[in-house]
Structure formats: structure tokens, C-alpha cells
Amino acid sequence: MRTIVAMPGDGIGKVVLPEGLRVLHAVGFDANYVHADIGWEFWCKEGNPFPQRTIDLLSEHKIGLFGAITSKPKDKAEAELAPELKGKGHVYASPIVGMRQKFDLDISVRPCQSLPGNPLNFIRRHGDGFEEPKVDAVIFRQNTECLYVGVEWTNPPAEVRAALETHKAMKMFKSVPSEELAISCRIMSRNACRRICEAAFAYAHKFGYKSVTVCEKSNVIRETSGLMRNEAKVVSKSYPGIALWETNIDAQMMWLTKNPEDYGVIVSSNMFGDIVSDGFAGLVGGLGFAASANVGRDVAVFEPTHGSAPKYEKLQPSIVNPIAMILTVCMMLDHLGETDKAARIKGAVAAVVKEGKVRTYDMLRLTGGPGVFAHGAASTAQMTDAIIANL
């Protein structure tokens, strides 16, 4: 039997992950689930939000299901550390970024598909009425490189500054003292760009999408965005049936509401992929609906896009929407080749959304809090129950 590493994390991660497991059980997916520690609690208690024992479990079992974690700014990280750990040189680093780098989870997949009947779907004015375009975009985001690598300085050391000044464009900073300079490097490798483009095209081919859009800014950021664009061109030659479109991230965001239905698979670097995937997610229901996969050669971790929403953690019964987590579970099943079970769950989610009787507070555009039930909102568990009843 397969073993899944279950990492609820913090806040509502602890609420939604068990809902995902309930659905997995109901659909008849047999697995062992081993709990693994991750998140703020372990930063505070151990000075490490991503303990070695969790790394070991992921190395062994290869498949992780993750809820969400809490991250806080530098001053709070130091302040909340257990007294005996203070001043011992512990530095907080995001366990998600750490996990992606440690296991080279370089391919992030973020499907953004509108479900008919979702009151949060984007609508557009059309003549005197409104139309609701069917959005079906799948964003492939390079997950490990680009601006997120962390090669950055405030007050760069002299040798860094000297190296950068070998570039003539640095002239404009000549009179700026180093203490007043902040530098973040955008670093991308051909291999990683090639892999994300190959993953995007292979997916488009497998699921019949007619286009892959490479979304960058290669007219200005000529080297790094240019590299991604070139790799997309190279890979596209092996897929003559799929059109390669190119957009710039800024224009793409402007066009987001103009013709989102025209886009299929989108491929992008880490920073721009983060932006464009949140943009598309907003058209199909936002954080309550956004699922994602982080896939490497060896290990894959599946997570809803939302964070730990700490203000809702303790609310009983819980109000948050479990659909993002439940769609995340479907991505895991698809990855494991359990496509029938994934399709059954997706069908059940679609049926509940279409029927419109059971809606969490976000779907009713209510302000979150215990009062939402009086306005007809379903609880987290009621939403999951309705989905299970439709399996």
C-alpha cells in the first residue's frame, strides 16, 4: 500500500487537510498516511520549521500532501522563538521554499478552471447583459529559480558590487552608496526552463489544449525571460499541433479579464508564474478553489494555494472552503495514476457547486466569522459531506 506524508502545517492547514483525507477515504483510495511536522509551531519550539524527520519521511515515501503554514516577519520570528533557542543563530526560512529546493520540486502546476454555478466566477459585461466565459487555464510555474533563489543583498559586499560594475548598466548606480543599495538576482538555468516548458507542452498534448502561452517579459528582461522564451520555442518544435503564444506578464494581467477563455496552458518563471496563477485563480473563485502540485523528478507535494488564514483556525465549526484542498487531493490522485477516482471527486465537486445549495462563506461573499451560518453559509465539514454524498 502506498504511504502518503500528510503535513497539515499551521492554521487552517490543520482544518482542510483532514477534509481531504475524508474524501480520499470515501472514494476508496487505500493508503497509509504518516503525519509529518512542519510550520511555525516547529520554528518556535525547535528553531526549525522544516525538521529533518519530515525531510526523511518525504525522502522515503516520495508523495506529500500539505495544508498550509504560517510565516511571520523577521522581528516576530525572533520574538516567538522559545527562550532557550534565542540568540543561538537560528534564522527563519520558509519551509515551503525549502521543500521545493531540497527536493528540486521544480514544476508547479496550478489549474484554474471555472465550475459552472460558482457565484465567484468572473463575468463580463456584454452589450446590455453579462456573459460568463469558461476559464480553463493551467499554469506551469518554474518553482525553484528566478527571484526566489535568495541571492540578494542589502548593502552588497565590495566584491559583489565590483563584479556587478563590470556591466555598463550599473553606471546609473555609481553615486549610490552600497548601504543604500538592495540587490536581488534573477537567476535561471536552461535546464530548468527546458523542463518546465517540456512539462507544459506534454500536459497540453495529453489533455488536448490547443495552445501553450509563454508568459514572460523578454522585450525588456532579455536574458532570463529570453532564455525561457527560447526554450519554449525549442520545445514547441516537437509539438506541431500546439500553438506557441507569447505574452508579456504586464499585458497578460491587463488581458486577464478581456479574454481569459482563450488561454490554455501557460508557462512561466517563478515570479511571473506566481503572479499569473493568482490572477487566473481570482477568475475562478479565488483561494477557496485554487489547488497546486509541486513536482520534481523523485518527490511530489500537493497543496492548496491558500495560506494558513490564522484568524479562522480556532473557529468552531470551521467556515473555510475545503474545495481547494479537495481539488489538491485530485491532483495527487492524477499524479498517482488514479485518474478515475480523481474524476469522480472532481465530478462530485462540480455537482455540489452547480446545485448551489451548499456554499461556504467565501462563495456567498460574506465577511468571515461565526455569524456566517446565520446567512446561510455551510461549514467546512458540511461542504465536504455534500461532496462525499455526490461521489
Closest residue to ligand NAI in the complex (CB): 307
Give residues 325-364 in contact with ligand NAI (rule: CB under 6 A).
362
Q: Is the dihedral of CA 46, 52, 57, 59 positive or negative?
A: positive
Which of 31, 63, 68, 345 binds ligand NAI (CB under 6 A)? It is 68
Q: Is 259 exposed, middle or buried (0-12, 13-18, 19+ CB in 10 A)?
A: exposed
For residue 71, state whether it binds ligand NAI (rule: CB under 6 A).
Answer: yes
| The one segment of 195-203, 248-256, 302-310, 343-351 that binds ligand NAI by CB under 6 A | 302-310
Question: Binding residue for ligand NAI (CB under 6 A) from 196, 320, 329, 352?
Answer: 320
Contact 299, 58 (CB under 8 A): yes
In the complex, minimum distance from the CB of residue 101 to ligand NAI, in angstroms, rounded to a whole number? 15
Residue 156 φ/ψ, nearest 5 degrees:
-60, 145
Residue 290 interacting partner from Mg ion, ligand NAI, none (CB closer than 5 to 8 Å by kind): none
CB of 271: closest distance to ligand NAI in angstroms? 15
Rounded distance between C-alpha atoms, residue 201 and residue 243, angstroms: 10
Q: Which of 287, 358, 372, 387 touches ligand NAI (CB under 6 A)?
A: 287
Phi, psi of 387 (to 5 degrees): -65, -45
Assigned C-alpha cell, 57: 519521511
Q: Which stretch binds Mg ion (CB under 5 A): 52-60, 67-75, 238-246, 272-280?
A: 272-280
Shortest spacing between CB 168 and ligand NAI, in angstroms: 39
Q: Residue 368's binding partner, choosing from ligand NAI, Mg ion, none, with beta-carbon cut-off 5 to 8 A by kind?
A: ligand NAI
Question: To the nearest whole angstrom, how small is the minimum distance from the Cβ of residue 324 to ligand NAI?
Answer: 5
Please report whether residue 306 would count as binding ligand NAI according to CB under 6 A: yes
Residues in contact with Mg ion, counted by CB under 5 A, come to a total of: 1
Nearer to ligand NAI, 247 or 292 (CB): 292
C-alpha cell at 14: 490543520
* Residue with Cβ nearer ligand NAI (143 or 308): 308
Give phi and psi for 182, each to the nearest 5: -120, 135
Among residues 274, 334, 338, 362, the one that binds Mg ion under rule CB under 5 A: 274
| Cβ atoms of 295 and 335 closer than 8 Å | yes
Length of the chain: 391
Residue span binding ligand NAI (CB under 6 A) among the ranges 83-91, 103-111, 166-174, 319-327: 319-327
Partner interacting with residue 324 (select from ligand NAI, Mg ion, none; CB below 5-8 Å by kind)? ligand NAI
Cβ atoms of 264 and 210 within 8 Å: the answer is: yes
Tell me phi and psi for residue 67, to 5 degrees. Answer: -90, -90
Smallest distance, Å, CB 84 to ligand NAI?
24
Answer whether 1's CB lies under 8 Å from 32's CB. Answer: yes
Instruction: Report residue 177 as a C-alpha cell.
Output: 552608496
What is the number of alpha carbons within 13 Å of residue 124 lying toward its C-beta?
A: 14
211: nearest Cα among 271, 140, 277, 280: 140
Q: Which residue carries 525522502 as its cell? A: 59
Q: Which of 115, 138, 299, 309 lies at the binding interface for ligand NAI (CB under 6 A)?
A: 309
Applying CB under 6 A, among 7, 43, 49, 70 the residue interacting with ligand NAI is: 70
Contact 273, 137 (CB under 8 A): no
CB nearer to Mg ion: give 57 or 266.
266
Ordered DSSP codes for 221-287? STTHHHHHHHHHHHHHTT-TTSEEEEEEHHHHHHHTTTSGGG--EEEE-HHHHHHHHHHHHHHBTGG
- Closest to Mg ion by CB, 93 or 164: 93
Of the ranges 70-78, 128-136, 223-231, 370-378, which one interacts with ligand NAI (CB under 6 A)?
70-78
Q: Is 279 in the site for ligand NAI (CB under 6 A)?
A: no
Q: How far apart are CA 267 and CA 216, in angstroms?
A: 9
Report the residue from 248, 308, 318, 384 that binds ligand NAI according to the rule CB under 6 A.
Answer: 308
Question: CB of residue 330 vs Mg ion: minimum separation in angstroms?
Answer: 20
Binding site for ligand NAI (CB under 6 A): 68-72, 96, 287-288, 303, 306-310, 320-321, 324, 362, 368
